Amino acid sequence: MGGRRSLVVALAALLVACGASGQAAAERSATPTIHYTPEPTATPSPVVATANPSPTATPPPDWNALPVAANDPAALANQIVMVEAALRDPSVQGPQLTYMGHLQQLVYSRLQDYPEWKDTVLAGLPQGQRDAVLGTLEAGKQLRMLQGPVPSRLPDWKIVAPAPIPELLSYYKEAGATFGIDWQYLAAIHLVETRMGRIRGLSSAGAQGPMQFMPATWAQYGTGDINDNHDAILGAARYLKAAGAPGNMQRALFAYNHSQAYVNALLDYADVMRADQNAYRGYWGWQVYYPTKDGPVLLPTGWTNQ
């Protein structure tokens, strides 16, 4: 939407830290450039035999803890296999699902930081997972091409929890059916612009809401509340339709943000979700990272600078 590009650039630099940003700009620096150092291995304590050893229950993982990406390609491949399987398991819900999505984001970002690991990691994956991994990696690579200065201060945002997956999927599909657009494009925009609506606040250019509309563009294509997911997603679909969708999605997406790298990333994310709707469950868990001179900073749910 023309003038909103500066936000995307700012966010691309920001949300890169993990695949896609809350505004494509966030995507470039959102990829945690944090380098993990393997912890030293402690010397094992001697085992003391007992006459009647008692079985020890393994405590469940803390799904509210911060996930950590592996620091070598073999372990990274194992994490990807585990995460991708969990995202396709309908019993994985709530904090566990969010944890898995966040870990997926960090793992893909880690692999972006070490491209020389790519072949080894891919060789360790089941054939059925490779296309989705490659598509997501390529999308992140495209977003990292968006250039922008590292911000000197944290943004005037509030970070909120996203709406539930079934609710958001119903909005994408309603808007897609109304305007003849594949819902996956709308989900991809929502991911890159505001991480499924997690970011509340204005862009540096004045764009607003979960789909980042400039006020003048919203006045022409939006109805209802610019900050409401349902209304904003419908407005985005209406805008894309007017810009040439579905016949020319390249042109329509370029109108949304004048960057070919941005367009390429959206096409890649949409393709991954089109091949398997469960891929959305992973993207839904991606978090907001903001670039600073000292490295990306996670802005968790509840964070505010307003």
Angle between helices 260-275 and 183-194 (to 10 degrees): 120
Average pLDDT, the chain: 85
Least confident of 19-33, 114-128, 213-227: 19-33
Partners of residue 304 on adjacent β-strands: 158
Mean pLDDT score, 219-225: 97
Q: What are the boundaries of each domain within the chain? A: 2-36+68-299
Q: Which residues contact 266 (CB under 8 A, 6 or more apart)?
A: 139, 185, 188, 189, 192, 253
Please say whether the dihedral angle defined by the alpha carbons of residues 200, 202, 208 and 210, taken in this order, is positive or negative.
negative
Give the pLDDT band of residue 50 (cuts 50, 70, 90): very low
Output the CA angle 208-210-215, nearest 5 degrees. Answer: 25
pLDDT at residue number 27? 35
For 159, the 3-state DSSP assignment is: strand
Band of residue 42 on the pLDDT scale cut at 50, 70, 90: very low
Single-letter residue type at 189: I
pTM, full prediction: 0.84
**pLDDT surpassing 60 at residue 87:** yes
- Burial of 228-246, coded b for 16+ CB within 10 Å and e otherwise, reads bbbbbbbbbbbbbbebebe
